[in-house]
Amino acid sequence: MKVYSFPRGGLSFEDPSVPSKGPSIAAFLPALSVIPLVQYPGERAYPLVTVGDHVREGMLVGRGGSSGSVNVYATVPGRVLRTVTWKDGEGRDIEALVIRMEGSFERLGKREEHSSWSKMNSHDLQRLITEFGIVEMEGSGHPLAETIASFKNSVTLSLVVRCVFDDPWLAADYALCRERLAAVVEGTFIAAKARGMVRRVVFAVSHREKDMGEAMLAEAAKWDIPASLVLVGSKYPQRNRRELELALRNYEKSEGIELGSLLILGPATLAAVYDAVVFKRPVLDRYVAVGGSAVKNPQVMKVRIGKRIGDLIEECGGFIGKPRRIATGSPLLGKTVVDLDEPVTKTSYAVFAMLKDQVGDYARRDCISCGECRSVCPVGIDPEELYKQIIRTASRMPEDAAECHGCGCCEVVCPSRLPLTDTILGRSREEQRA
């Protein structure tokens, strides 16, 4: 099969400190859980419980109301000990409930009844997705129901399942796809019916994982919406919306298939849709890759939402040395962990801790005009020139800056350690607000 990719730039890299692609393991249940009332871009959920209250596993503890917010659930049974507040790596105030685990579990280890969704209409399916607080778990955590609703005016719509492993730190998504393949595929068709108007399902899979894509396509034969397998490149940032859409438009032209608008969702999100509709279950846990050169035993783990990051690292053998950087997500664009008591959230697909020799020297130097940033930019802009313009002038942002989508390739290769992406995106946001 032909492999479709974006035409220029990008990076290919490996990281030996990433967990292996073996089976995941179940993390210990947390004695103390920290359940943030904000796990998404919008306003916090309104708390429905107070200090001293008992909560059940899967109980609604925070009601989402405004645009961008979702419902929040307790992931363990127990008592609310206190509320805590901290500032995350982006300076945003995060309020959370601290729950001490006690009492019996209502779901864990017990047989759950399957609910049929074949006769449900799109309104009822969207209601369940909203009720159980499903978000886009591979990205910013935007409420999935709002994302689905945003395509209401699309005449032709394809739902794209993004199983693109261009970053070794997507090991948790890889394990999820292997271990819950049938749930991911069924969740895909549930989401398609929830939106309605979906004319085709496209499994966009890294070409190195062709067997996974073929297994998904075979599983999709059970459902009545046409499905296609598109093998895409494995070079970063292939999974970014722009680069993935370029590949899919090339496929569309080559095969003469009209895809229309593209609703792109990841496997963790689709598995959560399956759980919400089939088992009437909120997001209680997620697959997380835990590793980095400072962690003794890197693992892909199935972790309860709210488990503290420090406890998770300790379960992987703890630190083998003083970490220079601790963050969630990919090292390319990860969010700094301010405190090890911060919890795993719905969007925490990876947690890493790195020693100084893996992070390297943070010291910035003058630009040497090597041109490496230009060579890897998938958008074709000149990060060096934009950076220099921004720091030497207070004039309006150059038009080319709006093309930057923040993949971070330029910063990875810059020998002078210049904050190219942050500078370009930071000033672009100021321009947009103005």
pLDDT in tens, 257-315: 999 999 999 999 999 999 999 999 999 999 999 999 999 999 999 999 999 999 999 99
Sheet holding 72-73, edge to edge: 46-47, 60-63, 72-73
**What is the maximal distance between C-alpha atoms in the chain?**
64
143 neighbors 149 (Cβ within 8 angstroms): no
Residue extents of the structural domains in the chain? 3-15+112-278, 372-433
d(CA 386, CA 423) in angstroms, rounded, equals 9
The pair of structure tokens assigned to 289 is 């890759």
Q: Which residues, 6 or more positions from 218, have their beta carbon under 8 angstroms from its beta carbon? A: none
Look-up of token digits 């220079």? 324
345 neighbors 283 (Cβ within 8 angstroms): no
What's the count of helices (H) and strands (E) in the chain, helices before strands? 13, 18
Task: List helix spans (H) across 235-291.
Answer: 241-255, 267-278
d(CA 413, CA 368) in angstroms, rounded, equals 13
pLDDT computed for residue 89 by the predictor? 67
Q: Where are the beta strands (DSSP E) in 292-392?
A: 299-304, 325-328, 335-336, 350-354
pLDDT computed for residue 363 by the predictor? 75
**Low-confidence stretches of the chain (pLDDT beneath 70):** 89, 360-362, 394-397, 427-434
Provide the residue type at 273 as one letter: V
The pair of structure tokens assigned to 359 is 């992070």
pLDDT computed for residue 108 by the predictor? 80
pLDDT computed for residue 208 by the predictor? 95
pLDDT computed for residue 433 by the predictor? 32
Alpha-carbon separation of residue 324 from 88, 298, 299 (angstroms) = 18, 17, 20
3-state helix, strand, coil in the chain (%, to 5): 30, 25, 45
Q: Is the dihedral of CA 342, 347, 351, 354 positive or negative?
A: negative
User: Which superfamily, per CATH, for 3-15+112-278?
Assistant: NADH-ubiquinone oxidoreductase 51kDa subunit (3.40.50.11540)
pLDDT computed for residue 424 by the predictor? 86
In this structure, the strands spanning 325-328 and 335-336 are antiparallel
pLDDT computed for residue 38 by the predictor? 86
128 neighbors 279 (Cβ within 8 angstroms): no
